[in-house]
Every structure is written in C-alpha cells, then in structure tokens.
Structure 1
Amino acid sequence: MPKKPSTPSQSTPSQSAHHPTHQLSDAITQLPGVGPAVAEKLHKRDIHRISDLLFILPLRYQDRTQITPVSELTYGEDAQVLVTIVSTGIKYGQRRMFVMETQDDTGWLTIRLFQFGKQQTQHLTVGTQLLVYGQAQINSGNQRWAMMHPEYQVITPQQPITLTHALTPVYPSLLGIGTKKIQRWISLALNCLHHEPLLDLPEPIRTTHQLPDLNTALIAIHQPHVGQSLDALLSPDNPNLVRLVFDELLGKQIALLRQKIAHQSENALAFTLNHAVYQRLIASLPFALTGAQGRVIDDIFSDLQHNKPMHRLIQGDVGSGKTLVALTAVLQATANGLQAVIMAPTEVLSEQHYLQAERYLAPLGVSVAWLSGKATAKQRRETLAAIQSGEAQLIIGTHALFQADVIYDQLALVVIDEQHRFGVHQRLQLRDKARSGDTPHLLVMTATPIPRTLAMTFYADLDTSIIDELPPGRQPIETLLLPQGQRETLINRIQHIIHAGQQVYWVCPLIDESDTLQAQAAEIVYQQLSASLPDMTVGLLHGRLNSDEKTAIIAKFQANEIQLLVATTVIEVGVDVPNASLMVIESAERFGLAQLHQLRGRVGRGSAQSYCVLLYQAPLSDNAKKRLQVIRENHDGFAIAKADLDIRGAGEILGTKQTGDMHFRIADLTRDEAWIAITYPIAQHIVAHDPVLADKLVNRWVGSSQHYADI
C-alpha cells in the first residue's frame, strides 16, 4: 500500500536566504564545536577547510519527509511514525530495558530502549505523543510491530511536528565524531556553497562526458529531492557521484604530473657510462641476461646520462632478475666515483642484496658496506666513517640508511626495493641525504605487479619499465590445492623429494598457536614435522630470532644442511635457494594473493620441476576460494595483481593504508577503473593549459598533503 503523506507544517529549506557567516575557504576551526582536539581528528581525515566537508559523502539516506501509519510498516525497513504512549515499564531479562506500548489510529507499536536514564522514564509517560524513526520489526510474542532503540522526538505545543523537505543524509562518524555533528557542519558548508560556488571544470569537458556541474552534483548528493530511489542515489552509476569521482581522479593525477615536472626541473649528476666495466660484469655472470633485462638496462642507462634525476619504476615478477638490473645502475654510479644505496624493507632481504653485491660487484673493485642492525657499536662506527669519507661506494640496509648519524660523501643513486613497504617520509629523508645539492637518481623496484590503472594513478610521476621475461630454463611452478585432511600424504611425498636431493619450504602464517585464527603455528609445525621425519634435518625460521640466528639458518638451508625449512613469511622476499623445489603454504586461505605469489616464487629457481602446495582448512569463504583459484590458475603476476585489485582494493595492494601515501576519499580504483584512463589525458591538458584550474583541483583533493608524491 502507498504511504500516506502527512499534512503538518514542514520545516524551511536548509539553505538560508541570508548571506552565510562563513566562507568555504575558512579553516574548519571557524565552525561551532570545532576546538583543537576535534580539529586534530578532522585533519587526520584531510578536512582542513569548510569546503572539505562537502566531500564527505552520505553512507545512506533516511526518509523523514512523511509519516507512515503503523499498519503500513514494512518489516526490516526504516520508517517514521507518530504514536501516543499507552503504557510504560522497565523489564528485566538478558538486558534491562524500558518498554513503551504505543499506538496510532491504525495499530500498535512496541518501543524498546536499552540505554535510558531516570529523566527519560519521567518524561516518557502515558499520553505523551512521539515522532519516532527506526527500523520496523515484529514482536515474537504478540506479533505486534516493534522498534528497538529508535530515534524519537516528544511532540508538544511548544515543539510541534517538523518534517524535512528532503531526504536526510546519514554520514559516517569520524574518529569518534558523531554523524549528527558532521551533518550540522555539512549543512553550514552547503549554505556557503549556495552563495559561493566552487570552481568547476570547463563546460566542453562536462558535455563530452555527460557530467553535471560540480555544485549541482554536491547539492544533489547532500540534499536529494523526495521521490528519488534510494538504490539509485547510492548506485555507483549515479551521475552526481561519477562527477565527484571524475573530479578527484583529475586532482590526484594533476598533482602527480606536476610532481613529475618538478622532478625534471631539479638537477642531478649526469653519469658518464663506463661500458668496459659493464661488459666485465656481464662476462662474469654464469647466465645470459634476458631480452627484457637488456631493454630495462637501456632505459636506465639513458636516464643516468642526463643531469635531470631519473625517477624510474621497475616492475618484474618474482625471479625475473630485478636486482641484477639495479646492480648495473649501481656499477655506473661507482664507476663515476659516486655513491649509491640499496634500501630493502627487511634485514633478511638487505643481507641477500649485500651478498649478491659482494658476489658480483666486489670483484670489480666496488667497496660494498652493509648497514646492519646486528653490527657491534665499533663495526657501526667504522661503517659510518667509511660512508662519510666515500670509501664505501655502495651502502645496503633497511630504514637505518636515513638515520641522522648516516652522512654520505656524494650520494647520487637511490635504489628502493619493494618500495610500497616504505612510507613517504622515509623516502624523502633518504633523498635528502645527498650533500652535493643535486638530487639523486631514483630507481624503485617491485615484485608486486601494478595494474596499468593503478600505475597511472599512483605512479604518474615515475617512468615505468617492465621485466616481463623469466630467465631461460625456468619451468612453470605447478600449484596444487590440498585440504588439511591429506597432510600425511603430503609428508610422505616430502620424504621422496628430500631423498631425491631436493629441499622444501613449509610456511606458516603465525609464530604461536591462536584459537581465534585456528592456524598451525610455525613452532608446532616444526615439532610435528621433526617427529614425522626423524631422518631429515628440519629448521625453524621466524621473526623472533635475532639477526645472527636468522643468518645462520638461511646459510645452512642454502648449503643443504637443512632439508626442510619451516618458516613464517620472513622468507617472503630475499631468500634464494635454487635447490628448493617444493613450497608448502600452511593455512593458505589466510594469505593475500600477492603474498601467495611471492612465496611461490621462492621455488622454481633451479632446473628441477617445482611445486607449490596450498594447504587449506575447509570450509573456505567465497573470497578465500577466489584467491586460491586465482593463484592456482595463474602464473602471470599482472593477472594476479588485477585479481587482487578486484578482491582487496588498491590501498592494501600498494601499502598506502600503512604508509600514509595518496589515498582516495570518493573514487574507488576497482569500481572506477574505466574513468582513470579517461581522466589521465584531461589531467595532462589541464596541467599544460589551465594552471588556475590545476591549482584549484590539487588544492581541493590533495591540499596540504601534496608532498605525498615527492619521492
């Protein structure tokens, strides 16, 4: 049945006929109720000016424009009713509650309040009229309509019924700031907007892409007209939402493109290529470079010859030879009498880089230093002195590389491995270590392939090179799914593999037992496998071991003194054992796709056929089924990354949730993928031809955090 409209007087529209007392450009602290503590919370959400409030979008909408008779309530749907209290009482059960039996002309409604005080019970008396908004439910006992803890307003001659003229938006709470306060502040911002429209995109752009103007879109989202479908309002195809997505993508892309131009205006030391030392390195290798490695090296060498800093991203799948490519760049820096650093996210990976650099570069006369956390005080002093004097030409380490006491002689090249694991400020600090006044060349590497749309949005300031070939002789790794019930069969298979001279990884997600996660802990698995395989040497590697212990265990595994290594994800990157041909991943359903792909890449580095067994605990969630199916069916890192983007979203793939890098307020890079490619050339055009609009868009969407791209 249709809902009957109510006839009581309606409230006035929220936009005031008077000129507002605030301006959109005012600081958020100008609003009532925004003191220093609240302002700090808002700043954490990139809300600094009143205009920023306009881009907090409603989670949902409430229809408080009419009153619904009790008899026309719909189960599970929100509604507003006008009722009179017939009886009240406090009831005790599992929870203490205040219960009111109410009615209108059409039926009965039970109202239950679980949180109430003495003052409420004194005011909510028989005969009191209430305007109530809540979700309609059914009493299990008497089958009457009921509402649990609804919002209500006591109706009196002094406080008559007031209905809204538009659907009521419900906003997300922000760090403890309630949705009601946010609603009031946004209402004030909208009042400003009516008198002070925001600068919009040129009309030809809006017409071409059938977009409403920005101010109309904002008003339509915050103050939608009655009669609109709630599903349509919340749909990603809502043209008003699309208009905001379009605007945000432009703002972020313009900021990155401007950063790229800024990089190009900086000075760097141009390298004179030393082809002789490069050829000596290539001749010393026990293998030939792939064509893809050669192409990427050409890109890098071309960049290094210019006095503008290189900003290049190398994408390459696990085992594609990114590190060797980076070492060729390092060799050119040292051949020019300059210093280079390689920064890795973990001590284990930094040590692997150190060993690889010692193997390939030390014979060519390069002095390699490892700034290790396990160094003694004396060793650290000696290393720091060698760095400051220039005696150390290549310095390898983790975040320790940018600590205050690390002073470089002439830092000219920065290589960052698995760059998404580092925060913006860490990268900035390392770049600022250059003493010459010139900006170091920057080379960042990732084995987490980045879909093209993400690269265009997050890395528009970087030139990208892709290593899309694996070394010759590598066989595809066969990936198998195995339920926990077949564990014994797997252990028997491991015996055969080890007897054949091969080695095995067994990776667990936790160190200690956890009832919550129901996952086997590494220590327990180690004990079980040691008992099941008494003739084999089983090792245990996890993050709680100190650096010396980790190094010793890895060395034993590399020397085949340990045949089966039980480990946590500490071996996700950096451990290279060509003789390992089986990777078992315990509780594989608990890992993300990128991690599964990285772990699988620890095997398949020799000539033997290699396998990855994903040991899972049934039943699997839908997402877990998708992940395991994707990893079983795909070996292409880009296909896996695309699937990961679809399942998890960009923030987790790129590490931006942890590092504080660029994030999006409205756009969703999975949902809005098609718009990324459309907005990119428009952003390029605006940067080149409309600096005023470019300023406004960057200020609107990036503001004080514009430094996020400054790497």
Structure 2
Amino acid sequence: MARRLESARGSMPLSELLERKEKLAMASFGVRDLDTMMRFAPRRYTVPAPLRSLHDTHEGEEVSAIVTVERVSSRSMRSRHGSILEVVVTDGIENITLTFFLAKQHLVDWHTKRLAVGRRVLVRGTVGRNKMTGNPQITHPDYEEFEDSEEGLAHAQRPRPVYPLRKNIAQRTMRAATEKGLEFAEYLARPVPARIVEARGLLPLPEAVAAVHTPRTEQDTLSGVAHLVYEEAFVLQAIFAQRRTLDERSPAPALRAEGPLQTAFDERLPFELTAGQKEIGEEIIERVGRDHPTSMLLQGDVGSGKTVIALRAMLRAVDSGHQAALLAPTEVLAEQHHRTILGLLGDLARAGQLDGHLDATRVRLLTGSQKTSARRETLLDVTSGQAGIVVGTHALLTESVEFASLGLVVIDEQHRFGVDHRRRLRSKGPGGMTPHVVVMTATPIPRTAALATVGDLDVLTLRESPGMRAGVESFVVPEQLPKWENRMWARAAEEIAAQRQVFVVCARIDETDDSPPPATILDENGEISETRLEEARGVTATAERLATRPELAGARIGVLHGRLTSEQKQQTMDRVVAGEIDLLVATTVIEVGVDVPNASVMIVLDAERFGVSQLHQLRGRVGRGEHPGIAFLDTRTTPEHPAFARLEGIAGAADGFALADLDLQVRGAGDLVGEEQSGLQRTLKHLDVIRDAPIIDQARQDAFAVLAADPDLTDHPDLAGAIANRLRDADPDVERS
C-alpha cells in the first residue's frame, strides 16, 4: 500500500482507508481522497475546562473532572420512544449523574460498554439539575478513558476538533476518519517546496495536518493551520503567476499610435483632465503599447471620470489601426454609453457623413433588442472595420459578431460579467492575437477587492474626482419612526418643487410575485445567517401609492423596469432627461450608468435587501450635477437588526473603497480564479484576504520566483497538480479573468 500511495501522492481514494460510514460522512462534504481530507480543517476547537472537584461546581458551569463509574441504569422514556441511561460517577468527594437520552438500544449498549462500573474516565460537560430529583447532572457529556499519567492527562485535556456536520453524522465519525488519514500523512502531495516551508518557518505538512486534527495544545492548532493558509495562498499566487507567464507568451496588438483622434479629442474636451486622469491615462497607454496582452482593473469612485479615460484608450486603439469594444451589463447603460461617446466625440464619430471629421471613425451600438436592419448594418461595419468603436451588451459575445481587428476590450461594471463572458471577447482578437482588457468598477465588489489584494490584475486606482459634481449625503430611514418616513417624502417633494427630480427604487416589479428568498446577513458573532424579512414593495404598486400621497400631489410619476420593451425604457429615460418626469419609480435597472444631472434625491425602499455595491451605485445616480444629492435608505428593520447596522455603515462611508472592504467582509471574496463573484468560503478554505494580506505578499514573492525559474513546473509536479485541481474545482474551462 505504501508504494501505491507514494505514486499517487495523496490522491488515494478514501474507500481504501475508511469504514463505510466514515467514507459517506466525508463524501457529504465532497471529500473523496486523502489529500482533500487532510486539508478539511475543523470549524473550531473546544478547549476543556480546567480539572476541578465536583464539590466546587455550580449549575450552569463547564466542568472537567476525573471520575469513577459507580452505578449504571436505564429505563424507557415515558413520553416518546427510546431510553434514558443514567450513570452515577464520583471523584471521591462528590457524586454526579451523567444522563443520556437515547433513541436506539444499540446506543444504550455502546455507552454502557464504555462506562462499565469501576472504570475511570475524564468527563466534560455543563452542570445542570434533574427536574424530578433536583440532583446535579450532566446531560450528554463528552467523556473518554485516559492513561493515568501526566502525559495521559495532558492528552485528555487537549483541544478537540469540531467539524461541520451533515444530517445523521456524528462528531466521533469525522474525528475517527481524519485520525485514520493521519497514518498516511507522509504521502500527501506537498505543493509548497520544502525549502520555502523551512524559510517561512512553517511546520512540515505531515506535522501540520497532525497539529490541525489532533492538536496537543491551542498553539498546535495555530501552527498547523498556518501551513494550510500559506499553502492556499501559494497555490493561488502560482495560478496568477502562470497567467502572467501565459500573457507574456501570447501576442497582442501593440497600440502605440499617438494620433490623430486622440489629439483631436483632447483639444475639444469641455473640461480639463485632472492630474489623476492624466496619470492613469499614461499608465494605460504604456500597458496597451506592449506586444503581449495586459489586463487592468480601473477602479474609481462614482463620478471620478473613468469613462473619459477609457474612451481615450479606445481612440488609441483606433489610431493604431484596430477596434475597441465597450461591454455594458444592460441595454440602458449600453445606450447611454453610446450617446455619451457620440456626444463627446462629435464629428470625430461621424465617419462617412458630410459633417464628419477628416479622421473620424464610426461608433456603433449592438444590443439584443435591435431591429434586424439596424443590427445588420452594425455587423457590417464591425466586420469590415468601419466601426472603430463598438458599444454593446452580451450581444457582442455571440458567434455571429466578428471584429475586423479587435485590439482593446473595455468592460464597464465588471462584476456583472463572469469569466466566460470576458473569455469570449478576448477570443475575438485579430489573427490569433489577444486584445488588451480594461475592466472598470465604481465600487470594487468582493471578488475585485480580493483580486486587487492578491494581485491577479494590474490595478489602476483613480481616487480624485473632477470636482464637477455636488456629491451626495446618505441617511438610513427606519419606517418604525413615522416622522422620519414622512420627512423623507416631504424632502422629496421639496426637491420636486425646486424643479429637481427624484428616483425611487424597489426590489421587485409586482408585489404579487413570489416572496423573495430570505436575506443573507451577519449575526452578532460575524456568522452568516438567513432571516425572513417583510415582503418587498414593488414598482407598480409603489407608483400607485405615491400618486395618492398629499406631499407629492401634482408630481409627474413614471415607472421603469425590466419587463418594459427596450423602446419603452428608452422613451421613459428620454422623458426623465428632458425633465418631463419628476419622480421615477424603478427597479435596479437604473443601478449603473444612468446620468441625470438634475436628479437630487434617491429613495431605496427595503434597502436591507440590496447589496453594498448596489446601494453605492444607486446613490451615485444623484448629486451628479450642480445640486447636492440626498440618498435615503428606507428600511422596515429595527435598529437592533444586523441589517440595520450594515445600512448605517454604508450610509456613513462616502468612499467606494471603504465600502469595498465592508462588502468583502459581509459577502466574502468569492471565487478568485473561476466564475463565482462572491460567497463566503466558496473558494477560500483557510485564507482570509484581509487578515492574511502579509502572508499573501510572501506567497506571491515565492510563487512568482518558482514560476520564473520553472515556468512549466517540470520540477514541481505537486504544485502543478494542486493548480490543476484548483482550476478544475473552479471552472473546467477557466482562463485568465
């Protein structure tokens, strides 16, 4: 068996190691081989209370005591099927009863055999009282035999691992399985080279997993987990290092032309670029000028001017003889981007027209709901290369869209797109080349914040604002205080009276829809929990109710949601921009990109149902002009509710980067190399990207050094295997994000 294990390096199936119930217990968590089981860490540890005399204990206290069994008896339960097993034990001074309520006779027999009269055991549990007799008892205590020596006593007092459980699985089954696996720990795959383990002061892997599953002290648990944390960071960084290496080997269009479109565009800008915009623009120019693909994350708060920076980069692609694509998550945003670009470029976007600039290009829009004739005309311009800039939604990703020479891809609000979406666009480069990619976000979502921490993307941060916007203040409005809610609507009416506009956002369209699932929140211990909230308000019913509010009498109210046709949505937004609608009730279709400088109030109903990033984006829709914005986060939760505290944190954080940290803590890092955008523990089993930032930095240095010396990992087969397993678990077809 040792020889077979040595060749498998930890991949031995558990069927060859464990009993059937142990194998099934592990399989319920997707654990099917030795390597995975040894890295399946306990959720927590229980540390026994100090040994003490039963005479000194009181009801409700945790106790650990060495006792001798004096008497064992059992009887049938009166009210339900099963037996009550009572074991009287003594420490030589006091007696106490160990009480077990057992549904099956075989459990009675199992405990009776282990607790024979005269046997000495170490017992742990909480002291209670028997309701019938008033005598002290410990219900369902933890107990074990121990060797009557100093070493045996220390072993009995060791921390005990507590594993997550599924239905009908006992802790002792999980513990027995991992203890059997430890016998073969020497044959585990070791992704982290031994020299790095030693240099970083880590326990060797066999010792580390022993410390994790059978610790002798609390310090053992920390030392053991430290290896698993570092290993996870190291494998993750090795994946990123491989991707960088792949990029360096892949050809990309070198976008190096200096004009003429870029120069003409800069000359007609109606404002001066900020120092930050100029600096970031130069960094992008340097990166897209390389002959291998680069992936950049352009992050800046709402209103920081990311679109102008991206447009200048797209013009550089056109000047260099290639095309640029701007991918937006919704048709509303794609159409707005198209209008914005046309407005900024003017005659530079009117190639082939009488009033077009001599060096003009064409800017085309492609969405799924376009009429056939418009779509055919757009596709012709894209295929022929006449359209230098193409703006679109997911429609750009279809096989029927063929670019003449795609050199740059800009993805707005990148958290709306999975890895597969970006992969399909990158495959549309010219002649087997890979286009450069810029992804933009106003609020770094958890996955993005984590990627920035671990360094998968070149991160470009735009922190200053052009200063052309008045900004926005945010307030949490608890509906349990009617005065607050009434004042919110009165404030909205005041803004309308001042010729400004109001957005009201609802979580769904109709209130007759099925109730949304429970909201996911953090409890007071920082654990994820689910809570059933009141049913969310809908757009149509809310618009009808608001029409009857006396404060809003005479207000022109419109609605916008996903069930409207593209033409209806566009007509509604045109009326809003024209000032013909005072108050727009909408779903999150207006979350990103909607630019109405006259809008000054954002009211989010049932705000507890929205994510951190969503709320920040929504409040960024107001205060975009000369008038200050106000965002009201309206909630039916109480101040004691965890969701209420989260809303207050959002309202108090004006900076999108601070919100990214909050979002990362609430939602988790998500899948750092695959498709998933968020989810606590979905990807990271041991690593915390906030807590372990210094470890990530160390692992990055080590992993990049290993890949630089051995790009194909010929001398590091265990690392190559760990990378393959990691990517297989994330996405069987995953490529660089």
The interval holding the TM-score normalised by the smaller chain is 0.7 to 0.9
Cα deviation for residue 246 of structure 1 reads 2.3
Deviation at 1:563, TM superposition (A): 0.8
TM-aligned CA deviation for residue 650 of structure 1? 2.8
CA distance in 2, matches of 1:665, 1:368: 46
Return the alpha-carbon distance in structure 2 between the equivalents of residues 568 and 150 of structure 1: 53
Partner of 1:614: 633
Equivalent position amino acid for 1:321 in 2: G
Kindly provide the amino acid, as one letter, of the partner of residue 537 in structure 2: A
Equivalent of 1:518 in 523, 534, 547:
534
Number of the residue aligned with 2:100: 111
* C-alpha spacing 1:604/1:680, structure 2 compared with 1 (3 Å): same
- Which is further off, 615-624 or 631-640? 615-624
| RMSD between aligned residues | 4.4
Deviation of 1:318 after TM superposition, in Å, equals 0.8
Identify the match of residue 211 of structure 2 among 190, 211, 220: 220
The 1:44–1:398 alpha-carbon spacing in structure 2 relative to 1, beyond 3 Å, is farther
1-side partners of 2:633 and 2:248: how far apart?
Answer: 46
Partner Cα distance (1:623, 1:396) in 2:
41
Q: Separation in 1 of the partners of 2:610 and 2:564?
A: 22
Give the letter for the 2:442 counterpart.
Answer: A
Provide the C-alpha distance between the structure 1 equivalents of 2:383 and 2:139, rounded to a whole number of angstroms. 69
Partner of 2:325: 341
Q: Give runs of aligned pairs for residues 337-486 of structure 1, distance below 5 A.
A: 337-361=321-345, 363-364=347-348, 365=351, 366-376=361-371, 379-380=374-375, 383-449=378-444, 454=449, 460-484=455-479, 485=482, 486=484
Q: 2:616 aligns with which of 589, 597, 620?
A: 597
Contact 1:112 1:147 (C-alpha < 8 Å) held by counterparts: no
**Cα-to-partner distance string for 1:46-101 (whole Å, 9 max, x where unaligned):** 86753232211112346899999998798475989968652322433xx7664444
Distance 1:112 1:327 in 2: 71
**Residue range with higher mean Cα deviation, 124-133 or 541-550:** 124-133
Query: Can you give the 5+ residue segments of structure 2 that lack an aligned partner in the other structure?
Result: 145-153, 352-360, 517-531
Corresponding residue of 2:546: 529
- Tell me, what secondary structure is at the counterpart of 2:325? strand
Checking the alignment, whether the CA contact within 8 Å between 1:62 and 1:78 is kept in structure 2 is no
1:4 alignment counterpart: none
The CA deviation at 1:705 is: 0.3
Corresponding letter in the other structure for 1:536: A
1:665 alignment partner in structure 2? 685
**Residue of structure 2 equivalent to 1:22:** 5
Contact 2:82–2:101 (CA under 8 A) maintained in structure 1:
yes
In 2 relative to 1, CA 195–276 (structure 1 residues): closer, same or farther, beyond 3 Å? closer
Structure 1 residue corresponding to 2:722, chosen from 675, 700, 710: 700
The answer (yes or no) to whether the contact 1:453–1:676 under 8 Å persists in 2 is no
| TM-aligned CA deviation for residue 709 of structure 1 | 5.8
SS at match of 1:651: coil
Shift of 1:502: 0.7
Distance 1:126 1:56, change over 3 A: closer
After superposition, give the CA deviation of every residue in 1:356-396 in whole Å (9 maximum; x if it has no partner). Answer: 23333473233333332223456545544544444444333
Q: Which amino acid aligns with 2:548?
A: A
Provide closer, same or farther for how the CA distance between residues 323 and 596 of structure 1 changes in structure 2, counting only shifts above 3 A: same
TM-score (norm 1): 0.80
Paired AA for residue 423 in structure 1 = G
2:533 counterpart letter in structure 1: L
The aligned counterpart of 1:198 is 190
Alpha-carbon distance in 1 for matches of 2:23, 2:75? 42
> Which residue of 2 is the match for residue 51 of structure 1?
35
8 Å contact from structure 2 (residues 52, 63) kept in 1: no
Selected match of 1:499 from 497, 500, 505:
497
Following superposition, the deviation at residue 565 of structure 1 comes to 1.4
Task: Single out whichever of 312-321 and 272-281 deviates more from structure 2.
Answer: 272-281
Q: Distance in 1 between matches of 2:337 and 2:196?
A: 53
Q: Partner residue of 2:576?
A: 557
Q: Write out per-residue CA displacement over residues 256-276 of structure 1, whole angstroms, 9 at most, x where no aligned residue.
A: 123112212211112242422
Q: Does 1:677 align with 2:697?
A: yes
Counterpart Cα distance in 2 of 1:39 and 1:387: 56
Matches within 5 A, 1:539-558: 539-558=558-577
Which residue of structure 2 lines up, in the alignment, with residue 309 of structure 1?
293
- Alpha-carbon distance between aligned partners in 2 of 1:289 and 1:330, rounded to the nearest angstrom: 17
Matched residue of 1:112: which SS? strand
Per the alignment, in what secondary structure is the counterpart of residue 579 of structure 2?
A: coil
Q: Corresponding residue for 2:600?
A: 581
Tell me if structure 2 keeps the 8 A contact 1:63–1:79. Answer: no
CA contact (8 A) 1:480 1:613 kept: yes
C-alpha change, 1:273 and 1:492, in structure 2 (3 Å) is same
Indicate conservation of the 8 Å contact 1:345/1:417, yes or no: yes
Please tell me the residue identity of whatever aligns with 1:89: S
Query: For structure 1, which segment, 308-317 or 629-638, has the greater mean C-alpha deviation from structure 2 after superposition?
Result: 629-638
Flag the 1:702–1:120 CA change in 2: closer, same or farther, 3 A: same
Measured against aligned partners, the alpha-carbon deviations of 1:240-287 in whole angstroms (never above 9, x if no partner) come to 322322232222123212311221221111224242211222334333
The number of residues matched between the two structures is: 671
Identity of aligned residues (%): 32
Q: Which residue of 2 aligns with 1:159?
A: none
Structure 1 distance, partners of 2:473, 2:381, is: 47
Alignment CA distance shift 1:46-1:337 (3 Å)? farther
- Residue type of the alignment partner of 2:343: R
Could you report, residue by residue, the CA deviation over 1:436-461 in whole angstroms, capped at 9, with x for unpaired residues? 11111111111124799946666624
